[in-house]
Structure 1
């Protein structure tokens, strides 16, 4: 007969513990705990048994240790939020778990990922080959790629958040913890419910569930949810609301239990979204005007952009941060001022007495007139975002009893995730940058006038991907296609004696393709005009091609629009990452009940990780010299090796074999203040694999050089020590749990954009802190919940990294210089060398300055007597037109990348010192109805967004208040709720991401959802 039984209490108490606590922390806040106990002990004595029972907090059951047991019996720092509690707290997505769990931080990343951090440890590395530090699991199966940020919770039994290294119980190594979402399973009774909701921004949300028993041994559960909402960001340029929502989820579970010895269930879940959700928020920048003096040498207005990095590292909370990058410093806009392509055409005839004007306007900053609103929810972009995501999970679970004391569990999970997001890259509206090409003149022995419209008729350039425009347009696309198989087999005992165990093996096969595109109509214009021009009979450029063998340099331009790309164009940036991960492991735990009150848990895991990355270097504006007789025009060689397509490199294969584990001693004790207390002390050794950095630009280093970077990054390791106490007081009406922890971390992985890639570095760190979780049923109708977290993180002494926002680190003998078109990152050069170039006789000083960061040892050097410093080496061959340059940076720090910043003692990113959650709930009886009034307040302390801990990195403290009023009629199973989320409509900067050097080092910021007032009604049947 179908009973879908839960494990009996005796079995739970005896069985091995693989669960985690919900609100528990150790003797850190001991004085506060004792005070709280003393305050509440006396009233408890006066209560009658009936009153005490009515005030007892409902027992929370978790499966953190792979068996169902009370959260107060689990010697692990774990928080559990039931589906009902999530409704009360209005926790609708994964990022909102910060309001229910201490020392948790959530931040969105710039591409298709996010960073869920526990105790300061998260996934700050965003390489495609990076493993998450916090494993996100669906019904105990790890999901390497998931929609925790986008997908909304529905028909949830509970969400468990385990803090600390995991691996001996779960199928994937996780150095920081696990977020495990457990769906509601079928029951033997027919039941259903439906919920509808309306709210601000035309919010419409519906969810429903239908549970159908199919005979005595079979049952099926259908559930789904849908959300539609208008955008809560405003694009002032297009006059459209953006960042809306249009998503839905469905789930079907079939459960079969033919006998007490065997059960099986099959789960399928689907998520889909198609709207204009913004992947990032507003883009901030403190504009960098460039240097007016280098040493004692004045810098002309024309050359100042070559000493501008676009944006300065000022605070994002200053008024200056609402500027735009100095776009004259971009190599792709500055190239027209370098004297390249001077014969390409002019917009005024000499007979008119006017000065010749080039087709591309070189005398303006395309973003020079940008004035941003101070409202973080108002953007001004030429292109509204497009967002699509689809995720499917299929899972088969089998459970077989092998006698009375052994059970065998088998789980197989397949997951498929597809993602597409496109939006304006620079987040600013440019001024017009193209002049009219109709009727233009060129000098070919004599002035000749064109009889064709040219390439920019009427000042409009038509880009094959972005269409016609008179201004600079930039759009990016982040997309991914991922699939995963995982299998786990586990044997678990429940003997009556003192020894028990859990043994398992698992295998994971994950494949991903992650693509990131950047389109810019100036890229296509350069490809057409400079590298692959096609001319009419009078020599005027009419369009570009890569088939003219008279062209000295050839760059293929993809002629197809967005959505139909042949993915072979070099007129756009494409970073493609192909990664395969194969992981297998043996793991287990043993449990020794040494006495009635003392238990020892020992766990061990052996993991073999194999990762294969197929490097596909980017090819932006790279081509090949197809005419070896004429060679490239002076100054126009791209330094590329292929004119079309994206050739694959040799696979990068990495492999690790590691042992991890944990040891826990827990004991129960009576104290003068508690009904029951569980103390535990634990040590855990955690690991997660390393990976490969994305491939860089495919430059021919015989022509152009760039600074060296590591191809791979190391795995992470952590030794974690924890002491906790879980206390039940006042006849069960108060749970007060405290935890203290210390982590010694080796090779923590952190990313930043360098050379247009997510470059990953490793740092040794320490983390320690305290946590308090409390739930107090003050009266039968009044409850208070409180979570407090204190966190201190420290990067180890001697750790260093190059800050792309401050490459000189204040050293006045070195100067940041903007490179030429083909070099992705800024570099530093000796001040005396830069002064020598500025004081040289060479008229077009932009050329040698642009090549300082791209030296090639292919060419010789020459010491000129005309220079102020006789030891200077100058690109003499460049002056003679025989080549590009030499390598002036062979003695520069870090190959010219810059001086390393000392990180010793700095805090980890996204690790606020304090987090606090306070909830207060009161129920009022109104005739046959219950009115529940609830308020929840969250406060997060100041933190940093990057490891450098500068003023630029600082994130101010912020808070969030939510309130609700819920009417419930139990007999009718009817509920109505009025709520307000983000009562004060706060828009704090919760995190940001720094973009690449060659687009100005602007910052994409992230913030909270605005205030939303809503009303919902629920009916069960």
Structure 2
């Protein structure tokens, strides 16, 4: 039997598509969706009967916080199993988004990554601002942006929910969410050890041991370590810049009584250290000049050969630790669940802001944050009633302190006469409260109505001390230094969701859905005036209308899910650099619209061959946005693709000895993406903010012994050695903008032993 995903329960046990005129594009979306729907309904009659017992496994998800078959949940979901994660080499959130239709990211460093799902993307490294895409691990919200990009290990399943998830998950899930589910302890002895080697001196170690301990108590300990040399080399010192080392541990205890009581304790720790993420001129043939008299032309066209400032010991460190306690009790028809979490994280980053040998701009940032959350839920999912419900309370508290020390035009530039020091000390004490309820009502054997609502309150206490000294202090402050403010603001919102689903057959369901999302407001941590620091930006609101079909055809060998949506959001929070500014400011951009079609497909072609694919096609624009007195209405939304496509092919072959060979190929691509709301491209010279289309291809070959104890994997990532631009930096007063490139071609092998 071929399966591309598992259920959590089983586990624990510059090339655009052709541009169309807007009326034609809307017609096309409707036509595409209607055609797919019609063809799907007819497909079960058109496909030949399966000749053997090949079928896809059922996928069980926790999208609505109870276990459900993903094909019966009126939410667009991408669920990745433990096998899929391992075979595809998925190590973090950015890897995960490569297998999610319509999802993208951009990254200026491991601590500064912004994720986009269904075209909704915003965030900041500030202490009093949030992201629009929620990242969770084992029911815990990773509340601060610099916590979210840590490496995965010992993962059972990853669920990516597309569209606003404001009922079950509250604020900051306006675009969707990524939920990482760790493998749980169980009552059997099990262990695995994996050692890996690769180019760039890559060395990895990963393992776990699971064991019954006493009576109804079991435990699991997981460990992961990886280190490598840098991908980029400084042409002056011949040293690699972006080396990386990561170590993580997780210890778990699970108590399951005979009276349906479960207590699950997780404790985790992670420490990471590495060099800086280098930047490089986008146009290697043009000089990187400034009014300060500096000029530099790249020596090498190689994206990973750079020349950066040698002024400081640039690099990044991050430490994260915490615990998660889950309590659940099942009564005759009710289930009570409590989740308590605590997380403490510290990070430091020193970097060259523009990527030249001149000491134009470098900065040091320190982040220190603590987060606490408590959720209590009650549901009747165990009952046989026609009405199922879930209700709960959620409280969160997080404190974030951030310090930035930035230097502009350091000596020997202009003999040191222009050297300017900018210092920002910001902190935010954030509290959140949510009351939510969901109802699933069976109107008939085939028709189900789902309703949900949530009331949220968010409060932030913000303080800022911003001072700047030197000849160029006007680049950081618009009034005399220093500015010192203390501010407080409260936001509240009611979000709601309603869906109607109808089972066409035992293997096909159609649904329509309306949902809203809410992202709390905040304060600008890099404000240039006292007034702008004290004035909060508004909350962001999303209205999503969606129509979809979920189907399993060809004797459950083909899973075809299609969703068409129209998403309107108002007061969209946009982080952008005002003209001439050295720091970004978050502002509300007015209104924007995104509409599109998403397609998820899984198919077991034969007993040996399976395919997984995803396709998204979006039409998006700002409906109302004025920036620096320029009307950007009609421009494409920053960091949103016009289309994405991913395809994975797996071939399994059993040898006469009983051993198994696996061959796998993963491909993903996307359209060009604008990094700015102004939509600057190559025709705008140094302002170019276009991240061009990429084609990323990964491959893996594995041998697994007949006993399933031994495994050898050979892998390669970015086989085509594509130089993907993952971030475009600010232009400030320079003739062009610096960029950050993703990883080059990497390859290696691993050896696994399990009992």
Q: How high is the TM-score relative to the length of structure 1?
A: 0.67
Q: What's the CA shift string for 1:100-159, capped at 9, x where partnerless?
A: 110101111469321110011012555432121111111121111256764221100111
Say if 2:750 is the partner of 1:1016: yes
3-state SS of 1:87 partner: helix
Indicate whether 1:690 and 2:516 are aligned: no
Superposed displacement of residue 752, structure 1 = 1.7
Could you tell me which residue of structure 2 aligns to residue 954 of structure 1? 690
Aligned to 1:991: 727
Conservation of the 8 A alpha-carbon contact between 2:8 and 2:156:
no
Q: 1:323 aligned to 268, 275, 287, which one? A: 287
Q: Which 5+ residue runs of structure 1 have no aligned equivalent? A: 1-5, 10-24, 285-315, 331-364, 431-471, 531-569, 625-637, 700-706, 803-899
Q: CA deviation at 1:1001?
A: 7.0
Alignment of 1:113-152 (within 5 A): 113-145=112-144, 150-152=149-151
Counterpart Cα distance in 2 of 1:623 and 1:368: 18
- Residues 1:283 and 2:273 aligned together: no
What is the Cα deviation at residue 612 of structure 1? 1.4
1:908 maps onto 2:732 in alignment: no
Determine the structure 2 residue equivalent to 1:572.
421
The 3 A distance-change label for structure 1 pair 324 and 934 is: same
Q: Say whether 1:941 aligns with 2:677.
A: no
Residue 497 of structure 2 is aligned to residue 662 of structure 1: yes
SS of equivalent to 1:122: coil
2:375 to 484, 488, 492: 488
Structure richer in strand, relative to its length: 2
Residue equivalent to 2:699 = 963
CA contact (8 A) 1:665 1:680 kept: yes
3-state SS in 1 of match to 2:484? coil
Aligned to 1:418: 346
Post-superposition offset of 1:516: 2.0
Distance 1:639-1:727 versus aligned 2 partners, 3 A rule: closer
Q: CA deviation at 1:229?
A: 0.7
Structure 2: distance between partners of 1:657 and 1:240: 51
Match of 1:773 in 2: 600
Q: 1:597-642 CA distances to partner (integer Å, 9 max, x unpaired)?
A: 1111111111111111102122223899xxxxxxxxxxxxx99867
In structure 1, the partner of 2:14 is none
Q: Which residue of the other structure, out of 772, 781, 796, is the alignment partner of 2:623?
A: 796
Task: Please state whether the residue corresponding to 2:605 is helix, strand or coil.
Answer: strand
Q: Distance in 2 between matches of 1:429 and 1:415?
A: 38
CA contact (8 A) 2:525 2:533 kept: no
Matched, 1:389 2:318: yes
Q: Equivalent residue of 1:572, what SS?
A: strand
Q: Structure 1 residues 640 and 792 mapped into 2: Cα distance closer, same or farther (>3 Å)? A: closer
Work out whether residues 617 and 698 of structure 1, in 8 Å CA contact, stay in contact via their aligned partners in 2.
Answer: no
Map of 2:404 onto structure 1: 516
What is the aligned partner in structure 1 of residue 35 from structure 2?
A: 31
Match of 1:651 in 2: 486
In the alignment, is the contact (CA less than 8 A) between 2:393 and 2:436 conserved in 1?
yes
Q: Contact 2:457 / 2:490 at 8 angstroms: preserved in 1?
A: yes
Equivalents in 2 of 1:381, 1:956: separation in Å?
24
Distance (Å, rounded) in 2 between the aligned partners of 1:35 and 1:664: 23
1:477/1:529 CA distance change after superposition, 3 Å = closer
Matches within 5 A, 1:378-777: 378-383=305-310, 385-401=314-330, 403-430=331-358, 472=359, 474-494=361-381, 495-520=383-408, 522=410, 572-621=421-470, 649-670=484-505, 676-697=507-528, 711-754=535-578, 755-763=581-589, 764-777=591-604
| TM-score (norm. length: structure 2) | 0.89
Cα RMSD, aligned residues only? 2.9
1:210-249 alignment, distance < 5 Å: 210-249=209-248
Cα deviation, residue 649, structure 1: 2.6
Q: 1:1002 Cα deviation (Å)?
A: 4.9
> What corresponds to 1:302 in structure 2?
none
- Name the counterpart of 1:982: 718
Q: Compared with structure 1, are the counterparts of its residues 252 and 747 closer, same or farther at alpha carbon in structure 2 (3 Å cutoff)?
A: same
Q: Which residue of 1 aligns with 2:684?
A: none
How many residues are treated as equivalent by the alignment?
715
Give the deviation of 1:373 after TM superposition: 2.2
How many angstroms apart in 2 are the aligned matches of 1:417 and 1:1014? 31
Cα distance, 1:170 vs structure 2: 2.1
Assess if the C-alpha contact under 8 Å between 1:423 and 1:477 holds in 2.
yes
Q: For the residues of structure 1 that align with 2:365 and 2:453, how far apart are their CA atoms?
A: 39
- Relative to structure 1, is the Cα distance of residues 640 and 125 closer, same or farther in structure 2, using a 3 angstrom cutoff? closer
Secondary structure of residue in 1 paired with 2:410:
helix
**Quick check: 606-615 or 104-113, which moved more?**
104-113
**For residues 517 and 139 of structure 1, do their structure 2 counterparts lie closer, same or farther at Cα, with a shift above 3 Å needed?**
same
Q: Secondary structure at the match of 2:515?
A: strand
Aligned pair in 2 of structure 1 residues 912, 640: CA closer, same or farther (>3 Å)?
closer
Question: Partner of 2:469: helix, strand, or coil?
Answer: coil
Q: Secondary structure at the match of 2:612?
A: strand
Shift of 1:678: 1.1
Contact 1:723–1:739 at 8 Å: present in 2 too? yes
Write the deviation string for residues 569-617 of structure 1: whole angstroms up to 9, x where unpaired. x962112221111111101101111111111111111111111110212
Q: What is the rounded CA distance, in whole Å, between the counterparts of 1:34 and 1:117 in structure 2?
A: 30
Cα offsets for 1:972-1007 (capped at 9, x unmatched): 42221111111111102233121544xx37533222
Q: Which residue of 1 aligns with 2:17?
A: none
The offset of 1:165, in angstroms, is 0.8
Q: 1:476 to 1:62 in 2, by over 3 A?
A: same
Query: In structure 1, what is the Cα distance between the partners aligned to 2:736 and 2:691?
Result: 16
Q: State the alpha-carbon separation in 2 of the partners of residues 528 and 146 from structure 1.
A: 35
Call closer, same or farther: CA 1:228–1:27 in 2, change over 3 Å: farther
Distance (whole Å) between structure 1 residues aligned to residue 123 and residue 679 of structure 2: 15
Deviation at 1:697, TM superposition (A): 5.0
Q: Any unmatched runs of 5+ in structure 2? A: 1-6, 11-28, 682-687
Change (3 A) 1:415 1:201: same
Moved more, 201-210 or 167-176: 167-176
The whole-number CA distance in structure 2 between the counterparts of 1:502 and 1:80 is 22
Q: Secondary structure, in 3 states, of the residue corresponding to 2:35?
A: helix
- Counterparts of 1:843-922 in structure 2 under 5 Å? 900-922=629-651
CA distance in 2, matches of 1:720, 1:115: 21
Distance 2:110 2:82 in 1: 30
Q: Is the 8 A contact 1:28 1:740 kept in 2?
A: no
Q: Residues 41 and 241 of structure 1: is their aligned pair in 2 closer, same or farther, counting only changes over 3 Å?
A: farther
SS of corresponding position for 2:546: strand
SS in 1 for 2:599: strand
Distance 1:930 1:33, change over 3 A: farther
- Distance across 2 between alignment mates of 1:732 and 1:368: 63
Change (3 A) 1:161 1:528: closer
- Write the distance in 2 (CA, Å) between the matches of 1:241 and 1:792: 41
| 2:659/2:705 contact within 8 Å kept | yes
Contact 1:79 1:101 in 2 (8 A): yes
Which residue, 609, 612, 616 being the options, matches 1:782? Answer: 609
**C-alpha displacement at 1:80, in angstroms?**
0.7
Q: Residue in 2 aligned with 1:457?
A: none
Contact 1:524 1:572 in 2 (8 A): no
Flag the 1:231–1:213 CA change in 2: closer, same or farther, 3 A. Answer: same
Task: Provide the C-alpha distance between the structure 1 equivalents of 2:553 and 2:478, rounded to a whole number of angstroms.
Answer: 73
| Per-residue deviation, 1:187 | 0.6
Alpha-carbon distance, 1:762 to partner = 1.4
Change (3 A) 1:506 1:27: farther
**Following the alignment from structure 2 to structure 1, what is the Cα–Cα distance between the partners of residues 699 and 328?**
42
SS at match of 1:487: strand
Q: Whole-Å Cα distance in 1 between the matches of residues 524 and 615 of structure 2?
A: 37
**SS of residue matched to 1:152:** coil
